[in-house]
Amino acid sequence: QVQLVESGGGSVQPGGSLRLSCAASGSIFSVYAMAWYRQTPGKQRELVAILTSGGSTNYADSVKGRFTISGDSAKNTVYLQMNSLKPEDTAVYYCNVRAVVGGFWGQGTQVTVSS
């Protein structure tokens, strides 16, 4: 059974920073990418950042230069460092792991940016 546990969400003022973590446990083999998505009420879940097993990264235009995705393969953990946060970054953030056996999702963590 694969489980993804996210942490690090919370409330922050505009311009602040947060670091999200996602730890994967269970029988995950041949992971080829780990990613972060976010979703707000009434909208589709959108890709925020992705990290491939080869080390390549890609970001949504709205977060480029502010967010950084990184990973620790030994710990099966992926991080999302979020700087210069804006109110429009407010959302539930989900961790996603893509492996040969399939895709897996975390439970989501709320990020609220407000003054």
Give per-residue pLDDT as tens, 57-108: 999 999 999 999 999 877 889 999 999 999 999 999 999 999 888 899 999 9
Residue 97 in tokens: 């792991």
The single residue listed with the structure tokens 């925020």 is 48
Query: Which residue, among 34, 33, 63, 65, has the nearest Cα to 48 in the 3D structure?
Result: 63
Dump pLDDT digits (tens) for 31-63. Answer: 889 999 999 999 999 999 999 989 999 999 999
Residue 27 in tokens: 């029988």
Written as one letter, the residue type at 84 is S
Helix (H) or strand (E) holding 83: none
The single residue listed with the structure tokens 């505009």 is 14
| 74: Cβ contacts below 8 Å, ≥ 6 apart | none
Helices (H), 3-115: none
